[in-house]
Amino acid sequence: MTVPAFGLGTFRLKDQVVIDSVSNGLELGYRVIDTAQIYGNEAEVGQAIEKSGVPRDELYITTKIWTDNFAADKLIPSLKESLAKLKTDHVDLTLIHWPSPKGQVPVAEFMGALLEAKQQGLTREIGISNFTVALMKEAIAAVGAENIATNQIELHPYLQNRTVADFAKQHGIKITSYMTLAYGEVLKDPVIEQIAQRHNATPAQVTLAWAMQLGYAVIPSSTKRANLESNLKAVDLTLTEDDMAQIAQLDRGHRLTSPASLAPHWD
């Protein structure tokens, strides 16, 4: 298995809003859904999936283990709770959502528990999120790079995170980009706007296509059906080498997500 290139994110979406977003997405052809324990919406995501009638084997569902559940005796029970909420006997990908705050739970402990969850058939693949190169090295030492499907990180034209992306690539670990549109900031960028005009595309389509063309997976979210439909068209957009080079120049180390209680020492 490999992590699909294009999916639907559900961060910050709650209650009926997330039900509508996932329902619309599935109707439009999305088959990859990304959630997390801390989002507080797994039950609603499960409800939308069940109601959609889309067969389980056509879906790729990701959830993420929250830091409170990292201890070896808590991780698998918490994942089983997530499965119950999602109304499925397994997810396709389970990630460690953030590194353990202040290293309270060793990387080897939670990665070992996560690998055990995979061996029990609770998740088909496992991975990490918000991991630096140093933390990736620890995770690889614990379970082997072949058992780490992806590192899901903040990555967009203003934060291209090349040190982490290059290290992951060297070890066969796929990068999943979250906040690829930088909360909409990059959609107003003149360079991206010009590229979009040349391709008769939207700035969002250009940005998502850029990330996928670099080999990254993307999981944009939207509460608007029109945007969900439009974003999906990024899959068919091919940018030129010149377009890619222009976007490469936009990197400015502009990080938007770095909670003090969770953030590691970023690369």
pLDDT along the chain (267 residues), means of 10: 92 98 98 98 98 97 98 98 98 98 97 98 98 98 98 98 98 98 97 98 98 98 97 98 98 97 96
| Spatial CA neighbour of 170 closest among 225, 201, 215 | 215
Task: For domain 8-181+215-221, give the fold.
Answer: TIM Barrel (3.20.20)
Report pLDDT digits (tens) over 197-232: 999 999 999 999 999 999 999 999 999 999 999 999
How does pLDDT run across 182-200, given as a tens digit for each residue?
999 999 999 999 999 999 9
Q: Is the distance from CB of 186 to CB of 207 less than 8 angstroms?
A: yes
**Averaged confidence pLDDT in the chain:** 97
The ranges assigned to domains in the chain are 8-181+215-221
Alpha helices in the chain (DSSP H): 15-28, 42-52, 72-86, 107-119, 133-143, 162-170, 190-199, 203-213, 225-232, 241-248
Q: Return d(Cα 206, Cα 212) in angstroms, integer.
A: 10
Q: Which helix (H) or strand (E) holds 127?
A: strand 123-129
| Tokens representing residue 88 in the block | 């499925």
Which residues sit in the known binding site? 97
pLDDT, residue 2, reads 85
* pLDDT given for residue 68 in this prediction: 98
- pLDDT for position 1: 58
Would you say 70 and 100 are in contact if contact means Cβ atoms under 8 Å apart?
yes
**Which position has the token pair 């360079």?**
191
Annotated binding site for substrate: 97
Residues 77 and 147: their CA atoms lie apart, in Å, by 21
Distances in Å between the Cα of 170 and the Cα atoms of 134, 141, 163, 264 are 14, 15, 11, 22
Residues labelled as active-site residues? 39
- Could you tell me if residue 127 is left (phi over 0), alpha (psi between -120 and 50 degrees) or otherwise beta? beta
